[in-house]
Amino acid sequence: MKKKSIVIVTVFLAFSFTAFGQKAFKANDNTINVGAGFLGISWKGVNYSANYEHGFNDRWGAGLHFGYSQYKKNSYTYTAVLVGVRGNYHFFTTEKTDPYIGAELGYASISHTGHNSSVSAHDYSPVGIGFYGGIRQYLTPAVGIYGELHLSTFSIIAAGFTFKF
């Protein structure tokens, strides 16, 4: 058992301390962020999301965003499915750290179920724009964590894992 533990720790450390040697974001990089957002401006549920970004050069990247959220309030269950495009500007990038700012244009399909006669009908705009700033911190050349601060309906704070390929 002790040998097995030593092998597992050694393999983990080997992948964790692989030489970086290049900036954390560069042309032709592809990244996927998978995480959750909290504290929406007008949305109360946890927003689960995944987004993809392709690096066009060492500063600019763009990609797609997908999100899902659901919460209950009174006798209603609110559900949102989000699809959007986003663009990022990367600055002060180092071998392991990738700060960025960006904007997103998206479509949200929002629905609710339930009935409460004292609540008036809901009106939602299906198209929205959001702005954010974030940072990726790579633990290995291909795996890291990220955090973002948003100015959007669905989340103000988001965090999760990032994968580069």
- Sequential pLDDT tens for the chain (165 residues): 566 656 555 444 444 444 556 899 999 999 999 999 998 777 888 999 999 999 999 999 999 999 999 988 888 888 999 999 999 999 999 999 999 999 999 998 888 888 655 555 565 678 889 999 999 999 999 999 999 999 887 889 999 999 999
Q: List pLDDT tens digits, range 62-106.
A: 999 999 999 888 888 889 999 999 999 999 999 999 999 999 999
The rounded distance, in Å, linking the Cα atoms of 125 and 164 is 34
Domain 21-164 fold is Porin (2.40.160)
**pTM (global) more than 0.75:** yes
Q: Hey, which residues does 98 pair with through a beta bridge? A: 136
Query: Domain locations in the chain?
Result: 21-164
